[in-house]
Structure 1
């Protein structure tokens, strides 16, 4: 997807994120990387539009990944299912 289309999609709606019930942070272990550096390619939905972004895995549980990514100058953060992210080689 080209950058212009991604910017337009991101302006239309915030990225969807998993809910507290889905994350179960009070029940499962949570790992937080204080200096995220693990690159991933992740599927994210802005409204009903799925897009693939290059992101950093900032935190994770056994089932989910908290990612951070930028589109132009805006930083986005959201939780996705771990199966929606693939390791991205440097």
Structure 2
């Protein structure tokens, strides 16, 4: 869902223009106003909270763990635990730097 709702700067400005038009035009459908407000709100939340960056970091951590498992199919439980712990530690370090 995040990719579908993600707005670049130009799209965000377009949605703001749509919202201004819908609010000021009595003939504009209420649904247009509501959708523009939702898209703007979602994008502002993503940008201000940094949630998009956290999600990308989490996905990268998962991919790193999956790559290790794929590259080391016969790894012991201890090796897997060590690698997962390492990846989680790296995740928390990068998160603290944000």
Q: Which has the larger radius of gyration?
A: 2
Determine if the TM-score, normalized by the shorter chain, exceeds 0.5.
no
TM-score range, shorter chain: under 0.3
TM-score, scaled relative to structure 2 = 0.23
TM-score, scaled relative to structure 1 = 0.24
Higher strand fraction (1 or 2): 1
Which has the bigger relative contact order, CA under 8 A and spacing at least 6? 1
Higher helix fraction (1 or 2): 2
